[in-house]
Amino acid sequence: MRASPVGKSWCLYLIECRNGSYYAGITNDLDARYLAHVEGRGARYTRANPPLRLIGSRAYPD
Burial class (CB in 10 A: 0-12, 13-18, 19+), 42: buried
What pTM value is reported for the model? 0.83
Residue 4 is assigned to a structural domain of this protein: no
Mean pLDDT to the nearest integer, 28-53: 96
Q: Which residue range forms the structural domain that includes residue 51? A: 26-62
Q: Is residue 62 part of a domain?
A: yes
Q: How far apart are CA 59 and CA 23, in angstroms?
A: 17
- In total, how many domains does the chain have? 1
What pLDDT, on the 0 to 100 scale, is given for residue 24? 98
Q: Is 56 part of any domain?
A: yes
Q: What is the pLDDT of residue 8?
A: 77
